[in-house]
Amino acid sequence: MVTPRFIALEGIDGSGKSTQAEMLGEALRARGLRVRRTREPGGTPVGERVRALLLEGAPGELSLPAEILLFAAARAELVQRAIRPALADGAWVVSDRFLDSSLAYQGAARGAGIDAVLDANRVALDGCLPDLSLVIDTPVVLAAGRRTAPPDRIESEGDGFLAAVAEGYHALAARFPERVRLVPGHGTAAEVHARVMDALAPLL
């Protein structure tokens, strides 16, 4: 029997992580595994309301401490209401973003510091970390061409900000190699999916 795992898909906006999260969920179900798909911020009734606060509006409307803590609040609900119950019930969890988004966006790119953001999330996490965070490592120029929806508050900050986020993800992969892996994001969705499955193979 395969042990249920918690997998997060990460990356800058337009990286293809949401597509890869969907494809991974389908691939795991095809193997006969039960899967709970979720997303951040969101994934619970409270989390979805917090998502609107975080993503709507203009850049600069939220202070950095408020942004960090709102993400943590949504995360706490997700852990308690969705992730832990699903794992306890024997299902795999595939999340479109989790903690490493906060570490890369607010900790690295916004300058709050990775350790400071990690400390701010300890209560929310309650010890629940992904078994594997797969960062779809896509060049900023390529990611910009993939985005089709109108930009949200964070996406509106431009490619320079996203380049800083990408550097943040690289720093996380170097610091936490046991759980954060970079997956090259160039090529077709199917080609990237094959790389995702290769990275996941030791857990299957």
Q: For residue 22, is it left (φ>0), alpha (ψ between -120 and 50) or beta?
A: alpha
Handedness of CA 55, 58, 62, 68 (dihedral sign): positive
pLDDT digits (tens, 9 = 90+) for 124-178: 999 999 999 999 999 988 887 776 667 778 777 878 999 999 999 999 999 999 9
- Token pair 């993400």 is found at 71
pLDDT digits (tens, 9 = 90+) for 75-93: 999 999 999 999 999 999 9
* pTM value > 0.85: yes
Tell me the average pLDDT across 47-70: 91
Share of the chain above pLDDT 70, in %: 98
Omega of the bond leading into 45 within 30 degrees of 0 (cis): no
pLDDT digits (tens, 9 = 90+) for 97-130: 999 999 999 999 999 999 999 999 999 999 999 9
Closest CA to 1 of 88, 90, 73: 90
* Domains present along the chain, CATH in parentheses: 6-203 (3.40.50.300)
- pLDDT at residue 192, as a whole number: 97
DSSP annotation of 11? -
- pLDDT at residue 165, as a whole number: 96
Q: Write out the two tokens for 65.
A: 């401490």
Candidate from 24-38, 54-68, 73-87 with smallest mean pLDDT: 54-68
Q: How many helices (H) and strands (E) does the chain have?
A: 10, 5
Handedness of CA 199, 146, 47, 123 (dihedral sign): positive
